[in-house]
Chains A and B, each alone.
Chain A
Amino acid sequence: MPAFRPLVVIAGLALALSALAAEPQGARRAALIDMVRQDCGSCHGLTLKGGLGPSLLPEALAERDVALLESVILNGRPGTPMPPWRPFLSEAEARWIAEQLKTGWPQ
């Protein structure tokens, strides 16, 4: 059993590293934080508690999984005013936004 431990650790490290690599950095991170608050905020409110669009606060998103949120961000929701943001975001960025929304959007 103990022989497997290093492997698990390495796998864990690799996962953590890939997550880190996916996380936007520097100016891009700041631009995304601002974009969600200001431009998503046009419909979801500056505080993201909702407007014409629904609330994006963690308690409102608790039941939604990250993959679904990522897909809605990238592809929009047909039949509603939610547009696809794919032209402006990579899939990794959309995933990061979904993860951040679930834990509380950074200031």
Chain B
Amino acid sequence: MRRLAAIVCSLLLAGCAQPNGGLRGTGDMGVVVERASGRIMIVETSHQSVLGRVDGLGDLSHASVVYSRDARYAYVFGRDGGLSKVDLLSVQLDKRIVQSGNAIGGAISQDGKLIAAANYTPGGIRIFAADSLEPLSEVATVYGDGSRRAKVVGIADAPGNRFVFSLFEAGEIWVVDASDPRAPQVTKLAGIGRQPYDGFITPDGRYYIAGLYGEDGLALVDLWHLDRGARKILAGYGRGETALPVYKMPHMRGWAVAGRLAFLPAIGRHEVLVIDTETWREAGRVKVFGQPVFAVAQPGGRHVWVNFAFPDNGVVQVIDVPTLAVVKELRPGRAVLHLEFTPRGEQVWVSSRDDNVVVVYDPAVYAERVRIPAERPSGIFFTARALKIGF
């Protein structure tokens, strides 16, 4: 009897949540991290609704998400080393492991079969089977005299089933070929610059760029020509001026490439740097409200939206690409942590941590459309990421 009741309940629930006989695609779905509650919301953008929540995911400060290649499963990387595989369709936790003491993020391989988790403690990456989360191998980021392990930052997937990342303390970029996932091959590029704090890969999968905290400039690696090493670009962009304090590290995975221009947060400056991706020279800079954290291009590339570090994190500014001018300033709420466009750019979702809300805008007219209550929301990740290199 209890069993029958359970079946009826689950049928009723499925019927309520999924009106099309329980079938739906995931192309309009996504995840919003509720960072303080160890929970994610599963959302859909066609009607801007919450489909359900999955909790028990641990410490989600600085959580990030990658998607399986069929865009059904979200892999959630938590600060506490937790790696959780969540089924978007059944709104359930599929598998969960705690794979390190302190983690920063991760990536999924080109073939979708491997998950790489990037760790601070112990420093290195660990590679897992994407379906079962079975551990396959580890690359320890041992550097210098061999007694210490560096923190891994800025991990990205690259063509050739490779993972690329930077070593914060060591000033190195490592390229790991995981074609044989139980015996990954490492190529180390040393002397790339002081204190790389994050990195990203260009949409074509060819160039990896690390932002440097310890000096003005960025490190650029051409993944077609690893033998040439890394080269410094935009060296001395601070023009020798004293850097401003940075109350939150900028993030580069939300890179903005619009046409041939890339828009990146300057570090220690209230500016967005504009780089010509054909010459890798500075093509301009835009004065903005505070220390940029994310600079995100609207699909179509006409505008770039920027949010800021504490204490300026209540503001979002919009940069017009052709004129490199700030054309709009919005105040979605207190402590804006992230923003994400729908794949074709007709909506942008913005999380306000301290007002416990996700605000959905129509970016064409900067109009607020929906406010979705959320507990301390941070990262917003739509499933379109499943189909892109570097996400």
Contacts and interface: CB of A to CB of B under 8 A. Distances in A.
Interface in B147-192: 151, 153, 168
Contact of B121 (A39, A41, A43, A50): A50
A84 interface: yes
Interface string B226-254: 00000000000000000001111100000
A46 B249 contact: no
Interface in B62-111: 62, 79-80, 102, 104
A50 B103 CA distance: 10
A50 B104 CA distance: 11
A40 B79 CA distance: 14
B353 A38 contact: yes
Interface in B321-354: 335, 353-354
Nearest to A37: B36
Interface string B35-48: 11000000000000
A50 to B, nearest CB: 6
Q: Which of A41, A42, A43 has most chain B Cβ within 10 Å?
A: A42
Contacts of A34: 354
A45 to B, nearest CB: 5
Contacts of A84: 245
A84 B120 CA distance: 24
Contacts, number: 61
Interface of A: 34, 38-39, 41-43, 45-47, 49-52, 76, 81, 83-84, 87-88
A39 B59 contact: no
Given A39-B310, A47-B80, A52 B246 contact: no
A83 B246 contact: yes
A76 B245 contact: yes
Given A43-B249, A47-B80, A52-B249, A38 B335 contact: yes
A37 to B, nearest CB: 8
9 contacts: A39-B310, A46-B35, A46-B60, A51-B79, A51-B120, A52-B120, A52-B151, A76-B245, A83-B246
A68 B213 CA distance: 24
B102 A51 contact: yes
Q: Which of B59, B248, B310 has most chain A Cβ within 10 Å?
A: B310
A46 B33 CA distance: 14
A46 B247 contact: no
B36 A46 contact: yes
A39 B62 contact: no
Given A45-B62, A52-B249, 5 more contacts: A39-B310, A51-B79, A52-B120, A81-B197, A87-B311
B61 interface: yes
B225 to A, nearest CB: 30
A87 B290 CA distance: 15
A32 B197 CA distance: 27
B6 to A, nearest CB: 36
